[in-house]
């Protein structure tokens, strides 16, 4: 854990990157990889075997660059990401306000349903999907409401441990062909694989929670460039962990589904199907263990969003109320996050309630057409928005000269921005217009 007792006026001193400091990266990795990401990776493996393994690796490199840029902004400027967005014009506030309200409404229902699915499969004689969904949402609400970042991080770390053990165990259990897997590291594009390739590079672990990473860095107590080396180690650990998840699920898809021509349902229900296949092949113990890992994957995404996006919303409200323009010396927003005042604020708790209660209505209703379309469009634009605004912020006088982007960071952020624009167009084309 970071030393939270250090006085705010202490001059920045570059800390050594030690393993005992890491934490926010584990949180962002756990939150960013949801059940839907695992299904997408499984389907890529089932269709193309090991061929697209290279795309999963490149995807992790892209996420390292994005998260490093977010963390560097927070540490180098002493400002939160939303303060930076405000300097780019009021359009960023308008976009974010619409996005965060609609996204939270739909995502809340999605997260509760995803967390409920493995519980229904584990306890077939227990409550139904809607009841489990409500219980998981309320559990997330109570947990985040009454606990600060330090406890939140510890619980997330335990759940990541469960995810890691289960996913790696299942990957080993299906006896992957390591020769073919290594061959899959050579970039190739089979016929019909372009969209799956782009999805693997851009999709897994790439959501609004990447923007939340800087807030978790501050909540850990890291508020100046003295923590830059530590943050970079933390970030690498995060996306190496994500990479292992993705590679393991691709191996499962390639070996268990591609080789046998078995198919899964799309969406989170595909993981329940996989549990059935595992039970048939390897017994109930392996299937139940997988369902526990499925629950850990879904529930970490739920409580991660409940905490991280609520922090973003609380900072949005604080900036709009205070009218900060983001220029000049740091005005304490990052330190307020570090002190925990954002987690105790009314906007933080109001957004927690918004994520939990209104979405419960969608558990009984099909999502209204207009909401699905709006959610899809706004969501598709978020990752290009993040990548391109980071390029803008980190190459101008908004960032101290010595901490601005170098060639590598600019190259990776530009490539990711272009990638996310392509994915954005494709996602909008695929909406049920």
- 224 and 8 in contact (C-beta within 8 Å)? no
Residue-level pLDDT at 94:
93
Residue-level pLDDT at 6:
41
For residues 205 and 249, give the distance between their C-alpha atoms in angstroms, rounded to a whole number: 14
- 275 and 294 in contact (C-beta within 8 Å)? yes
Half-sphere exposure of 186 toward its Cβ, with a 13 Å CA cutoff? 5
For residues 27 and 16, give the distance between their C-alpha atoms in angstroms, rounded to a whole number: 21
User: What end-to-end distance do the CA atoms of the chain give, in Å?
Assistant: 48
Residue-level pLDDT at 7:
41
Residue-level pLDDT at 27:
93
For residues 27 and 341, give the distance between their C-alpha atoms in angstroms, rounded to a whole number: 20
Q: Which two tokens stand for residue 77?
A: 């400027």
C-alpha distances (whole Å) from 208 to each of 161, 378, 385, 386 are: 23, 11, 10, 9
For residues 31 and 380, give the distance between their C-alpha atoms in angstroms, rounded to a whole number: 18
Residue-level pLDDT at 204:
60
Residue-level pLDDT at 209:
86
Burial of 111 (0-12, 13-18, 19+ CB in 10 A): buried
Q: Give me the average pLDDT of each 10-residue run along the chain (433 residues).
A: 42 72 90 79 84 87 91 95 94 92 90 90 90 96 96 95 91 85 85 78 72 95 93 91 86 79 65 85 91 92 96 93 52 80 94 96 72 67 92 96 94 90 81 69
């Amino acid at each position: 854990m970071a030393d939270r007792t250090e006085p705010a006026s202490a001059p920045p001193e570059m800390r050594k990157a030690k393993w005992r400091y890491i934490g926010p990266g584990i949180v962002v990795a756990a939150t960013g990889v949801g059940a839907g990401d695992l299904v997408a990776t499984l389907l890529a493996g089932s269709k193309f075997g090991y061929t697209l393994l290279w795309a999963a690796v490149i995807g992790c490199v892209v996420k390292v660059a994005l998260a490093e840029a977010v963390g560097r902004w927070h540490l180098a400027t002493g400002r939160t990401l939303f303060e930076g967005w405000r300097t780019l014009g009021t359009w960023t506030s308008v976009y974010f306000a619409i996005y965060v309200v609609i996204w939270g409404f739909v995502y809340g229902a999605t997260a509760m349903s995803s967390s409920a699915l493995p519980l229904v499969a584990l306890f077939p004689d227990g409550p139904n999907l809607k009841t489990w969904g409500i219980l998981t949402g309320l559990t997330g609400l109570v947990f985040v409401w009454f606990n600060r970042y330090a406890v939140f991080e510890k619980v997330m770390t335990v759940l990541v441990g469960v995810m890691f053990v289960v996913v790696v165990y299942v990957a080993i259990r299906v006896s992957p062909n390591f020769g073919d897997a290594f061959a899959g590291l050579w970039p190739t594009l089979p016929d019909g694989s372009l969209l799956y390739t782009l999805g693997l590079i851009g999709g897994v672990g790439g959501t609004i929670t990447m923007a939340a990473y800087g807030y978790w860095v501050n909540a850990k107590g890291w508020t100046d460039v003295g923590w830059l080396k530590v943050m970079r180690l933390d970030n690498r650990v995060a996306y190496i962990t994500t990479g292992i998840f993705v590679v393991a699920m691709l191996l499962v898809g390639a070996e268990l589904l591609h080789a046998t021509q078995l198919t899964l349902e799309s969406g989170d229900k595909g993981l329940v199907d996989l549990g059935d296949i595992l039970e048939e092949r390897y017994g109930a113990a392996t299937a139940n263990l997988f369902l526990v890992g499925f629950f850990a994957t879904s529930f970490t995404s739920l409580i991660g969003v409940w905490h991280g996006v609520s922090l973003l919303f609380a900072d949005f409200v604080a900036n709009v109320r205070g009218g900060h323009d983001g220029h000049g010396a740091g005005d304490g927003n990052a330190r307020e996050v570090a002190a925990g005042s954002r987690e105790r604020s009314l906007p933080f708790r109001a957004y927690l309630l918004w994520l939990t209660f209104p979405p419960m209505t969608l558990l009984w209703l099909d999502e209204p057409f207009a909401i699905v379309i709006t959610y899809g469009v706004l969501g598709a634009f978020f990752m290009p928005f993040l990548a391109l605004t980071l390029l803008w912020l980190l190459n101008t006088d908004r960032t101290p000269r010595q901490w601005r982007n170098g060639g590598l960071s600019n190259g990776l952020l530009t490539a990711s921005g272009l990638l996310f624009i392509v994915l954005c167009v494709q996602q909008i084309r695929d909406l049920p217009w």
